[in-house]
Amino acid sequence: MTARIGVVTFPGSLDDRDTQRAIRLAGAEPVALWHKDKDLKQVDAVVLPGGFSYGDYLRAGAISRFSPVMGTLIDQAKAGLPVLGICNGFQVLTEAHLLPGAMLGNDHLHFICRDQKLRVENADTAWTADYEAGQEIHIPLKNMDGRYVADERTLDMLEAEGRVAFRYVARGEAANGYGNPNGSLRDIAGITNEAGNVVGLMPHPEHAVEPLIGSGRTDGLPFFTSILKKLVAAS
């Protein structure tokens, strides 16, 4: 079996090609999906890539949430289809209510681009099984609206159910990628739904899959090998 992983392109998507390359490097087949099409082409999983869909007009991810492809995606995600949202894709997942909470502008009101230290909090999702809980990884981050917020009840629920997937590592110097880069509550960098098939995070694992480009690290590759192994095991 060759696992087929779809990558949705919205107007303003920037990292769809990078994501396709990461999927290919992991050993799966990337499938390009267009936001106006309802057909997911029978893919086994879907990635919503980073970028600035629709120029982030209205709100980041708010317009993309109503693209035709999202109607199909929402139904299939609720039925168990693995979905990963990266940066703008994470914003789309919150707007589509596949993940709780919302993304607001960075607390310092500036665009930020740097390598970022993360701690893996949940290694039991479809997209994180090749990590270990507590593992620290280095993943590039680039966003303007990356501040994760939710009400206290939702935050407590995420903590109690182990649904915080990644957290910004708070110790050390910011120049070395430590610290909360955008004011996200409880240092949350990524979360998962209750079933573990939908994951969203702000940093960009697709930019950390080969030693010669991007960050020069491969800390992001396990996202794509994790889902590949899950799909192969389920076939």
pLDDT values of the chain reduced to their tens digit, one per residue, 235 residues:
689 999 999 999 999 999 999 999 999 999 999 999 999 999 999 999 999 999 888 888 899 999 999 999 999 999 999 999 999 999 999 999 999 999 999 999 999 999 999 999 999 999 999 999 999 999 999 999 999 999 999 999 999 999 999 999 987 666 667 889 999 999 999 999 999 999 999 999 999 999 887 677 899 999 999 999 999 888 7
Residue type, 72: T
138 to 29, 119, 124, 200: CA distances (angstroms):
25, 9, 19, 17
The two tokens of residue 177 are 């990628």
Active-site residue, selected from the candidate residues 87, 121, 138, 207? 87
Q: What is the pLDDT of residue 175?
A: 61
Alpha carbons 197 and 32: distance in angstroms, whole number: 20
CA gap 167, 2 in Å, rounded: 32
**What CA–CA distance (Å, rounded) separates 84 from 220?**
13
User: Annotated catalytic, 113?
Assistant: no
CB 191 within 8 A of CB 164: yes
Q: Return d(Cα 224, Cα 209) in angstroms, integer.
A: 9
Task: Judge contact between 63 and 57, C-beta under 8 A.
Answer: yes
Token digits of residue 82: 């693995």
Structure pTM?
0.95
Question: CA-CA distance, 159 to 164, in Å (whole number)?
Answer: 6
**Which of 35, 95, 121, 206 does the annotation list as catalytic?**
206
Q: Is 138 a catalytic residue?
A: no
Alpha helix stretches (DSSP H) within 5-132: 16-26, 68-78, 88-95
The CA distance from 138 to 54, in Å, is 29
Does residue 134 come out as left (phi exceeding 0), alpha (psi in the -120 to 50 range) or beta? Answer: left
d(CA 171, CA 151): 25
Residue type, 229: K
Among 35, 138, 204, 207, the active-site one is 204
Is 35 one of the annotated active-site residues of the chain? no
